[in-house]
Chain A
């Protein structure tokens, strides 16, 4: 579904991604872990099409198409979803109008008629329940004045509304209380279909207790330095990143 090969990207002339290769097949759940500043969010942003980072090398294909040639909205309509680490507040743009526009743009792309107001409200209601988001939040402007946890739930709510093929969730677990973590994780699991995929970026095993990954990667200094099964996450939880750092240093990779 998603094939990234030798992707390099720089922000303000500083190389952040230094050759990332990764393949996510339909139906798989991948976890990306790695120390702060290693480039996880940058990778997510590059995939979603944020032009802050300049791509210097490499390719990204999504469902067989060259992702890097598409605008961010085209990528979204192809079924790519990014749950932001820091969702931005957009005063004055109501959640309702925002979601309606997004859903209908996607329908238009698929050749479907726009949803009627009542159908739209019905779906909104269902999805709100699914992710346990407070009804009142959707009456406000996008993320405006939301608490940290509310913003994260709102991301999952939007994912539920848009039903993506590939969702990249950047630290969606941070800022959530224990109940919310479970609700959000359940939401992700319920939304997951046999042929949709998820990439979760996280620092903690506790999310992976709920969303069980098929593959775990470690991103370190702009490269994927280790790929293994779910046991890798447990090992990291236990030992931190120091041992990886040492191994890399001895192997002379960095």
Chain B
């Protein structure tokens, strides 16, 4: 209880001290959301393990800590960003870099792509796209009971803005490279807003990297609006060091007959918590939520997924898989919520985890909450080891046991990877996962090489 109150007070002080500075550089609409959000935060506080949704994830170490700069970009940020290059072969994207939560260029802060697509800084967009922002910003998270979401609304300053007008299908994905790099321990909160209007199409790739070994805490909120008949994919690839905490909240609001997918691939990270919310807000909407977590050492990876069926005849599918080595801990919190009139719902959920050592831990909590009767819902969860019969089959063909284990683990992970519909990225992920499983990627733990 005490820790809880301390934390709240800590952020109260921080808010008081910095809010005027933040407000001065933000747009009126975004500013108008801040105070009510902060009040909500003060009611809810930083989630503790008493909170059912954080039952297995203790955030206190990261939140009860003094970070250096929290809110506004420094000059050096702008210089650094230029140096980073993503080197995934054949991956052709519209790239943007976000450094420590800010859009790090002074010019060209909002780019226009063919078809009227806008990509750039949210803070900048708020100046010229005020009406779009007012329509969607802070709309899909309001009822959320997670204090961190409201803390973000209260204090986030910048992030990514993507706008795809009606009828426009963006062929190339938009890729956001999210870098954290500083000589100080920092806490950053950024906010992304993605708007995909009617009958449009967007693939968004977000790559999370840490480039220096300091202690980092990120609390990021992404709101996505997917219009009628539209299609949206978000793929998040996380590769952060063991002293970093990454908390992401993604809210995907889907209109009638839209389809959307989310895919969280966590290769590395000290403490990672991804909460993803798909709100099926119109008849015939469909969504898929995927996740893959590969962890070792003392890493802690928590995936929270909530699919809300609010309208009839929607479909959803969840698939989360993970391999846990050393002392790592995995958490899966998945929820299918079918509202009263959402007849004709089809919803599936699956969580499979493999423990490689006796010190690894997996806690899983799949949930079905169903208030309509014409539904087909199921979930399955398994925690175990590789299938001995399959291993023997491979060995009996002369394949080394270690190699056979790798093959099976890779196949296990590939079931998630195969859903990435950007071929170059899928191949890259396959090879990263293979490296990760072979332990070759472990140097990422404290990597300062800009390997992408």
Contact = CB atoms under 8 A, between A and B. Distances in A.
B394 A162 contact: no
B407 interface: yes
B396 A141 contact: no
Interface string B379-421: 0000000010110111111111101100110111011000000
Given A101-B403, A141-B411, A109 B390 contact: no
A91 B389 contact: no
B399 A73 contact: yes
Contacts of B392: 48-50, 72
A197 to B, nearest CB: 17
A75 B389 CA distance: 17
A82 B411 contact: no
Given A48-B396, A76-B398, A98-B397, A88 B390 contact: yes
A106 interface: yes
Given A88-B389, A88-B393, 19 more contacts: A49-B396, A71-B401, A73-B396, A73-B398, A73-B404, A75-B396, A76-B395, A76-B396, A76-B397, A76-B399, A84-B396, A87-B393, A90-B393, A92-B408, A98-B394, A98-B397, A101-B399, A105-B403, A141-B411
A93 B407 contact: yes
A98 B407 contact: yes
Contacts of A217: none
A123 B134 CA distance: 64
> Sorted from nearest, which 8 A-B pairs have the closest CB atoms?
A92-B411, A76-B398, A72-B395, A102-B397, A93-B411, A73-B395, A77-B398, A90-B390
Contacts of A109: 398
Contacts of A50: 392
A83 B414 CA distance: 27
Given A48-B396, A92-B415, A101-B407, A73 B401 contact: yes
Interface string B313-340: 0000000000000000000000000000
Contacts of B400: 73, 105
A105 B398 contact: yes
Contacts of A162: 397-398
A138 interface: no
* Interface size range of chain A in the complex: 20 to 34
Nearest to B400: A73
Contacts of A97: 407
A98 B415 CA distance: 16
A52 to B, nearest CB: 8
23 contacts: A48-B392, A49-B392, A49-B395, A71-B395, A76-B396, A76-B398, A81-B396, A90-B393, A91-B411, A91-B415, A92-B410, A92-B412, A92-B415, A97-B407, A98-B407, A101-B399, A102-B394, A102-B397, A102-B398, A109-B398, A142-B393, A158-B397, A162-B398
Contacts of B394: 90, 93, 98, 102
A162 B399 CA distance: 12
Contacts of B399: 73, 76, 98, 101-102, 105
